[in-house]
Amino acid sequence: MPKKILIIDDEIDVMKMVVYRLKAKGFEVVTTTNGKDGVTMAKAYIPDLILLDYRLPDMNAPEVAKKLREEETLKHIPVILITASIQEIQEKAKECDAVEYIAKPIDPDELYKKVGKYV
């Protein structure tokens, strides 16, 4: 059974590239463009991994991560932070309780390496 990945990112072009790359590696991928729907989809989908953009139109990644961690069925799921802003990226990842971070533009090899650690 393929591992499931939820991507929460409002940059459609970035998301399309990541989805294409992950599906080519055999992952099952679902996406959304805002935090509220991301939390709802996570509850329904129970992914093995979440890729979370730092800036979303309705809330930021720390707010989304907090809502995910409040859910018993979701709090164990690893989160990889995605951000274009590399300033203080380690602190941002820590705010989100993220296990890793990936800077945009996303390097496919880095994506595979970091995703592969958790799924």
Cα–Cα distance measured from residue 24 to residue 18, given in angstroms and rounded to the nearest whole number: 10
Position 86 scores a pLDDT of: 75
Domains along the sequence of the chain with CATH? 4-113 (3.40.50.2300)
Write the DSSP string, 52-72. Answer: EESB-SS-BHHHHHHHHHTST
CB-based contact 64:74 (threshold 8 Å): no
Rounded CA gap, 19 and 27, in Å? 9
Instruction: Give residue 88's pLDDT.
Output: 81
pLDDT tens for the chain, residues 1 to 119: 899 999 999 999 999 999 999 999 999 999 999 999 999 999 999 999 999 999 999 999 999 999 999 999 999 999 999 988 777 888 889 989 999 999 999 999 999 999 999 99
In a 3-state reduction of DSSP, which class is residue 43? helix
- Centroid of chain to Cα 85: 15
Query: pTM to 2 decimals?
Result: 0.95
